[in-house]
Structure formats: C-alpha cells, structure tokens
Amino acid sequence: MSLKQKDPEIYNLIQKERRRQTETLDLIASENYVSKEVLEALGSILTNKYAEGYPRKRYYAGNEVIDKIEELAIERVQEAFGLPLDWHVNVQPYSGSPANLEVYNALLEKGDTIMAMNLDHGGHLTHGSPVNFSGKTYNFVHYGVSNKTGRVDYMEVLKMADRVNPKLILCGYTAYPREVDFKKFREIADKVKAIAMADISHIGGLVAAGVHPSPIPFFDVVTTTTHKTLRGPRGAIIMCKNKYATAIDKSVFPGMQGGPHENAIAAIAVTMKEVKTSVFRKYAEQIVKNSKALAHSLQGFGFKLTSDGTDNHLLLVDLTNKNIGGKDAQEVLDKAGIATNRSMVPFDARKPWDPSGIRLGTAAVTSRGMREKEMSKIASWITAVITDPNVADKVRNEIKRFTKNFPAPGL
C-alpha cells in the first residue's frame, strides 16, 4: 500500500507542504530545493542499514555495499572542493551543529579559548552562544563587524587575537553578506599560533563552484553543511589536514555519534556529483548575480542594507527606517507568500525575538530558474507589502500565478 492509503493524514500534510513550497517564494538564505535524484537516494532502502564505524572498519556485518557508497561520497567531496592530497574527509556528521561540536571536541580541552563572530553580527549558535553547548563548554571571545562599514575589520581581529591568545580561530557566518579574506585569517592565526577553522555552511556551494574564495589553501579544518547553497540533503562534512584526521574521526564516532545515516551519505554523494557539473557552476554564478540585483532593487526602494550590499547569496536588510520590526516584517511577508527570516543586524537595539532586520537569500529562487529581472519584481513585492500590509493577500495571489512559470527542482 502507498503512504496515501496507509497514512492519509501524513500524506495530506506532505502535499500541503509541497503546495506551499511550489506556490511561494523562498528567500530563506539557508534553504534550497534538492533534485529528484537526491530525494531518491535520501528516501532509499539505505535507511535500513546500521553502519557504526568507518569503511572497512564496521561494528556490524553486511556493509560491503555501504562501504563503497561512503567511500564514493568521500571521493566526490575531495573532487568537488579540490582538496589537496594531505586532506581528510568525514561525511558522517548528522548536520552542521554536530560537525562543529565534533571539531571542538577533537582539538580542544574544555575551557580553551576560541575566537568567533558574535551571533548578533552574523555568527552561529554553535560559535559560542551562551545558550548553546559550545558557549557553555569553551571560552569564546567574539569579534564583530565595523560600525562604520558593516564588514569584518581584520586589524581589530588581529588585536583581539593578540590580547586573548586563542587556541582556535573560527571564521564562519550565517548572516554576513560579504566575501571573506581567508588568507588574512590564516595570517592572524599564524601570529598567535592558533588552529584556523572555517565554517562555510552558507557559502559551501559558492566555494565549490569557484565563485567565492576557498579557505582550504589556508585553513586547518573546514566544516560545511550539505544543504543551503550546496543544494543537497540535510547533513554535514568535515574536511581537515591529515594531522587532525584521527582525532576528528574519533570525535565523530564513537565520541559524539552512533550509526551514520547512510541514506543521507548516498544523497551527499549524488549532490557532489552534481556540484562538479557546468550546470551547477552556472547556478552558483547566478545566485550571486541575483543577490546583487535584489540588493540593488531594494536599495532603489529605500531599504538599508548592512555593509551596503552583498558579495554572496544573502543580504541583511535593516528595517529601522521602515518603521517595522523584523518579526512583523517576516509575518506579513509570509502572509504574502514570501518566506524570509527575522534577523539581528549589527549593533541592533532590539531583542533577538523581534530584531530590526530580515535576512534574504537567493539560492532557492535561483534553483527555480529566476534571474535578475525576477529579482526586481520580488523587490517590488517586498516593498509593497512592507509599505502597506493590507496588500498581502493580493500579492500572494500574484506570486501564486508567477511561480507557475518557475517549477522547483524535486517538486
């Protein structure tokens, strides 16, 4: 029997979510649409198999095929990111947060000092937020962006590193719209003899496609989720120099995880094969073009953007001059069929639950085939709804008709 017959309640809810994804505009910077092939691997019989351990070193029998799948995923990650021969890959982390914690657990002692971006300025919960396990376990010291430029001030980062002498410097952001100078971070890390770690979860697809600089020539450890701009399943990978491989592998298993999700690992392998295509490279290039076009159009409508623009897939909109908070903006835009997320802006005077900004991303709409012209149209809808929330229903109907021209992958 099919799911529709056996469990119509769940089936119908899935269909409702399919319609929502089909008929709305997804501008959430951390979301995307996976291909049918990725979905096929993710929903395969591989979910039946337990495979604790690593290829050729499992604690369960019957892993001959599983070993080949995981080894293929590793090989494809190495190819997709152009890893040097002295780098190692672990594809078992369940998601980005576990991956980061597994690196800390492998390379640090409790209480060690880590430098990372302040959450309010675009960092991540696992980069030392006091409410997160990371912030409760390690001594995080946070740098931020310049109040004048909205960009990382590398000289200030260096001064902080000299002052606090961190064991690890973490470079990675969830709401930073500018290109990262990984070489400068390496120089800072070398000066204080710190491990250099990059979390490229948001820009992983841009890095692999060559449209954003890569940290790999300069860093010791790199983590990334496999969704977001990589357009794969929910999962993560850790890439590191061979000198850290044993410690990190032990930290992932048995340190913090049990059996890996081999269906997700197969889907990661499919994703990495897609990443190596010319189609993916063009898609990544278009993400950045669309982001810049959306930024330009919104600025034309009087919106203020942190750092005054974008170099990557996202932009951070400061709504202070629009007399609306991020929470209300998110809700009214959602009503209009535009999915965004509220976000703190640097030096925000408001609280995290109702901050001053919203974060927008172009990865998902680019996957639907939208280009610069469509970004201008999206900006006009955002402006209309923010200016007069009463037009939300009208805009939603327009978007419903509009999205029929741009089918989403996998749907």
DSSP for 220-278? SEEEEESSGGG---S-EEEEEEGGGHHHHHHIIIIII-SS--HHHHHHHHHHHHHHTSH
Residue 351's closest CA among 327, 334, 323, 329?
327
d(CA 88, CA 62): 25
Q: Is the peptide bond before 8 cis (omega within 30 degrees of 0)?
A: no
Count the Cβ atoms, other than its own, within 10 Å of residue 256.
Answer: 16
Give whole-number Cα distances, 41 to 35, 38, 44, 256, in Å.
10, 5, 5, 25
Residue 59 DSSP class: S
User: Which residues of the chain fall short of a pLDDT of 70?
Assistant: none
Q: What's the pLDDT tens digit per position in 187-232?
A: 999 999 999 999 999 999 999 999 999 999 999 999 999 999 999 9
d(CA 265, CA 221): 20
Crossing angle of helices 262-275 and 64-80, in 10° steps, is 30
Contacts 24+ apart (CB under 8 A), 54-57: 54/92, 54/249, 54/253
d(CA 220, CA 224): 14
Q: What are phi and psi of 92, to 5 degrees?
A: -90, -20
The tokens describing 301, both together, are 């409508």
Q: What's the pLDDT tens digit per position in 83-97?
A: 999 999 999 999 999
Residue 287's closest CA among 181, 219, 389, 360?
360
Asked if 188 and 211 touch (Cβ cutoff 8 Å), the reply is no
d(CA 108, CA 189): 15
The order of strands in the sheet holding 236-241 is: 87-90, 236-241, 221-225, 195-199, 168-172, 113-117, 139-143
Query: In the beta sheet, which residues pair with residue 361?
Result: 314
The whole-model pTM stands at 0.96
Question: Which of left, alpha, beta for 375 (phi over 0: left; psi -120 to 50: alpha)?
Answer: alpha
- Residue 332: helix, strand or coil by DSSP? helix
Q: Considering Cα of 293, then 341, then 130, then 146, what sign does the dihedral take? A: positive
**Computed over its alpha carbons, how large is the radius of gyration of the chain?**
21
Domain 40-275 class in CATH: alpha beta
Q: What is the structure's pLDDT at 1?
A: 83
Domain boundaries defined on the chain: 40-275, 279-403
Correct CATH for 279-403 of 3.40.190.10, 3.40.710.10, 3.20.20.60, 3.90.1150.10:
3.90.1150.10
d(CA 292, CA 320): 21
d(CA 201, CA 18): 25
Buried b (16+ CB within 10 A) or exposed e, 194-213: bbbbbbbbbbbbbbbbebbb
Residues with Cβ within 8 Å of 340's Cβ and at least 6 positions away in sequence, in order, are 27, 28, 329, 330, 333, 334, 358, 359, 360
Which residues are designated catalytic? 50, 52, 199, 225, 228, 234
Residue with the two structure tokens 């978007």: 399
- Residue 101: helix, strand or coil by DSSP? helix
